[in-house]
Amino acid sequence: MTPEDISASVKTYLLAEFLEGEDPALLTDDTPLITGKLLDSIAMLKLVSFLEERFDIAIAPHEADADNLDDLARIGRFVAAKRASQSLG
């Protein structure tokens, strides 16, 4: 699964779970989710849980931050890297 595929799946989840009724075109790959305050702390916990379950990865508490999860592109790259490193281990 490519980072782009992961981003698309996460976008679908975010629109259904937290942004229902919003224009999907407004949620781009670089829309800031955390620093733009689109997602609060509870939403971030739900997002991390979704990522762990959907993509069969484990996210450490220190990884659940804006560096890895602030936009769809970062999420896609982060999840793809986690899946690759876990499949090697």
State the greatest distance between any 2 C-alpha atoms of the chain, in Å, as a whole number. 41
Q: Looking at residue 19, which CATH number applies to its domain?
A: 1.10.1200.10
pLDDT in tens, 30-80: 999 999 999 999 999 999 999 999 999 999 999 999 999 999 999 999 999
CA-to-CA separations, 65 to 34, 69, 78, in angstroms, rounded: 8, 6, 11
pLDDT in tens, 17-30: 999 998 999 999 99
Domain containing 51 equals 3-88
